[in-house]
Structure 1
């Protein structure tokens, strides 16, 4: 089959999957499998070859990242149950003060808390951010909402153990330690610069409280006075009912838990997070030693991402069990299993489409036109991921699909796969909008209008997307 026919059929397969998801509201898992099946059959792979590519792609990415995603989500679920997130935000407030909170909160969400399922993390952190907003100035709501959006979305696809990041690393064969180090190098300046840019434009008149906020939704007059007391209550671990979370003007509320359920032994915050931090340090240390050419069987074993995250999971289960009791730990683990199931299946079918694209020979074709010395491959990855995200509204799907299209190119032209992973992640952040669940959660939980959410979420995260690809380009010169 000609090169042109393969390129056209690949484009049709991807566009068909997007159309099925957006226009016909078909489940993304089914849509991606249909796209992969069409591509295999249309490029002459035959029924047997097509099925083999789909199943092999699913199995290979699950072998790479399945346990990592499950361990990360379960760890996050237990930290959530122990109230670690509320305490961490209170600690950040005391340490940095209200004026620096947008930076501190955004960087913390993007780096330290990515094991927690995004929607859960947003529901937990948004009320605390909302309470802090009046204390940081007239555009406090805008700055805190933007900080939440940028931190949450960037962490998913740029920082280990974010589910998108782990999936990208597995798909492209990037060692997780290497992905962790390069992701950390990229995400800190990306988040800090993006929050600074958005804060600047908000301070200079790009925020209209009357049109961009919905005053009165949460009793704003009492919010500022209550915020410090709220933080102190969480820090001191008093046995209070969990704060209700309102969505869309009270349309949805989480039930108040009885005081006895909230009882917990006081454990230092650093102790709660130490198992997860220790796991990430082990993974990072393994990557550093690998680069330095130092080999030690014991270090190689404990620094393996699966072993390191397993140790972190076990450690977290022990400290949270001491803090909140066995029953609540078991409940959190059950929640974690439910959350990780859908993530694993979606990641797997993303691998199926990527494997079919590779088997069709697209990588060899594109390799003829790209060279490692040019910026074109990274920009193409970014543009493809951005376009897919605008259409589909899923950060993870768009990143995995874009990376899969150009993954075969990496060995052909000598481009480091970690750069492709980062470029795909950066592109998938562009234009978070009304097709995203994060968009509507931010609108309701932060008391914004749709217009305001378009500014804080859509524009804010898009700025981060552009900043990230601009920072990735210099990395390509040194990697």
Structure 2
């Protein structure tokens, strides 16, 4: 905003207050807005300027909000039709019990990659994991790491809000950011399987009672695999036409520039028709919209506090510290993603804050937009599953774990996210 620079002290104070309020169980949206207001006032803004800071910040996320709402159609179709569960069960059945950890991680990765939120993906696969874990003698911590690590890997190649935010934050196509996450995601999956395999006899085991409680609805109501994969397949094909055309030099494909805001709902509708669920279009789209509402509200809150940070000199101070320490400016992108996602315990909110607050500084240090998006995005997966976020509690409940038991998983999740961040930083920050 012209003529206004908020003190970095105010920006940090506002962010700290938002985190404290979230930990105190205040609704995250109100916590983020209140942190932005208090931070702006502490940083030297008057009441009128504070409102302008919040408005400018929320306006900056509206492109992301529109695409997230559009993605609700695909998400609703995948979840409500049973298509996601069909895909998960097919993967686990294909690999068998001998490769249970790989099967569970891959199933969650694919379910998340096709547009299902990671907490929902974990809830979908968790009953299967508990049943398999009980039969094979695999501990809860290994099972949940397989689900969470697989979900993290799928999340960075998905049309989910976090990927949309990373693309929008650096003015890129969604398909570009999805493709950039593929190699880091493969490494993330491999590390997940390796670490979870080492932990499979460590900690609390699944009881017979917990395994028996996992009866799900009649599987005959779910679509067959050949129709369940139509929606995600259409979405991936349409999203990838433009980058494939650019790579291969095919003119008519390269000119196919249709935004994800159109592609994702279209894929959902085609998938519905393929499954013979045309009569459910209103129900599925309404369900998808309801599931996106909480995310949209949090994105608006994140936009408010991003407005505070982007109108402050915090990024200048961080860049000065990096310069004085002799650290390559390339590391600002992953560091921003790690810190912002840790602060908010949310991948998508962390990406919004990192791109909105540090995006310009990252690009000014010579980092290319795609490299910046990839590094911020993977950085946001390192320590995003902390207790102030809903994913921590949803995933703990899915595996009947206590808060203490769930906290024990955080370092292992950080290994998975850290691996993807290191791979992404080496690949896009130094090699390409």
Contact 1:367–1:412 (8 Å) recurs in 2: no
Residues 262-292 of structure 1: per-residue CA shift (max 9 Å, x gap):
875x854233322322222322332344467
- 1:359 aligned residue: 311
State the match for 2:81 in structure 1: 82
Deviation at 1:315, TM superposition (A): 0.9
Asked if the contact 1:36–1:356 (Cα under 8 Å) also holds between the matched residues in 2, the reply is yes
How far apart are the structure 2 equivalents of 1:348 and 1:291?
A: 36
Distance 1:191 1:458 in 2: 16
How far apart, CA to CA, are the structure 2 residues paired with 1:288 and 1:360?
Answer: 40
Q: For residues 109-120 of structure 1, what are the structure 2 equivalents within 5 Å?
A: 109-114=108-113, 115-120=115-120
Does the Cα contact within 8 Å between 1:92 and 1:101 map onto a contact in 2?
Answer: no
C-alpha change, 1:437 and 1:27, in structure 2 (3 Å) is: closer
Query: How well do the aligned residues superpose, as a CA RMSD in angstroms?
Result: 3.4
How many angstroms does 1:343 deviate by? 0.9
**TM-score after normalising by structure 1:** 0.77
Aligned partner of 1:394 among 343, 346, 350 = 346
Q: Does 2:299 correspond to 1:347?
A: yes
Shift of residue 180 of structure 1? 0.7
SS in 1 for 2:31: helix
Distance 1:40 1:417, change over 3 A: farther
Do the aligned residues in 2 keep the contact of 1:214 with 1:448 (CA within 8 Å)?
Answer: no
Q: Which residue of 2 aligns with 1:170?
A: 168
Instruction: Report the CA distance between 1:44 and its aligned residue.
Output: 4.9
> How far off is 1:477 after superposition?
0.6
Supply the distance in 1 between the matched residues of 2:426 and 2:132 (Cα, whole angstroms): 36
Deviations 1:129-152 (Å, cap 9, x if unpaired)? 2112244x4325443322112223
Paired residue secondary structure (2:207): coil
Distance in 1 (CA, whole Å) between partners of 2:206 and 2:86 is 28
**Take 2:386 and 2:365, find their aligned partners in 1: how far apart are those partners?**
35
1:465 and 2:417 matched: yes
Distance verdict in 2 for CA 1:359–1:394, change over 3 Å:
same
Equivalent residue for 1:274? 230
Shift of 1:303: 4.0
1:196 is matched with 194
Secondary structure of the structure 1 residue equivalent to 2:209: coil
Q: Partner of 1:138 in structure 2? A: 137
- Counterpart of 2:262 (choices 301, 307, 313) is 307
Asked whether the equivalents of residues 302 and 308 of structure 1 are also in contact (C-alpha less than 8 Å), the reply is no
CA distance in 2, matches of 1:454, 1:117: 21
* Contact persistence 1:382–1:424 (CA under 8 A): yes
Task: State the Cα distance separating 1:461 from its structure 2 match.
Answer: 1.4
Alignment of 1:351-430 (within 5 A): 351-364=303-316, 366-367=318-319, 370=322, 373-385=328-340, 387-388=342-343, 392-425=344-377, 426-430=379-383
Q: What secondary structure sits across from 1:85 in the alignment? A: helix
Report SS of the residue matched to 1:92: helix
Q: Could you list the per-position Cα deviations for residues 306-330 of structure 1 after superposition, in whole angstroms to 9, with x for gaps in the alignment?
A: 232232122123224x1x461x443
Structure 1: which 4+ aligned runs deviate by more than 6 Å?
291-294
Q: 1: distance between equivalents of 2:126 and 2:318? A: 44
Decide whether aligned partners of structure 1 residues 437 and 11 sit closer, same or farther in structure 2, where only a CA change above 3 A counts: closer
Contact 1:154 1:429 in 2 (8 A): no
How far is the alpha carbon of 1:126 from its aligned partner? 1.0
Equivalent-residue separation in structure 1 for 2:306 and 2:368 (angstroms): 18
Residue in structure 1 matched with residue 159 of structure 2 by the alignment: 161
Pair 1:179 & 2:167 matched = no
Deviations 1:316-351 (A, max 9, x none): 23224x1x461x443232221111111112112312
String of CA shifts for 1:242-269, please: whole Å, max 9, x gaps: x35xxxxxxxxxxx7xx7xx875x8542
Consecutive unaligned residues of structure 1, counting only runs of 5 or more, are 224-242, 245-255
Say whether 1:284 aligns with 2:240. Answer: yes
Which residue in the other structure is 2:62 paired with? 62
User: TM-score scaled to structure 2, two decimals?
Assistant: 0.84
Give distance in 2, aligned partners of 1:142 and 1:217. Answer: 18
Could you list the runs of 5+ residues in structure 2 that have no partner in the other structure? none
Please tell me whether Structure 1 or Structure 2 has the larger radius of gyration of its CA atoms: 1
> How far off its partner does 1:49 sit?
4.3
CA contact 2:5–2:312 (8 Å) conserved in 1: no
Give the Å deviation of 1:67.
3.2
- Alpha carbons of 1:43 and 1:441: their partners in 2 closer, same or farther (altered >3 Å)? closer
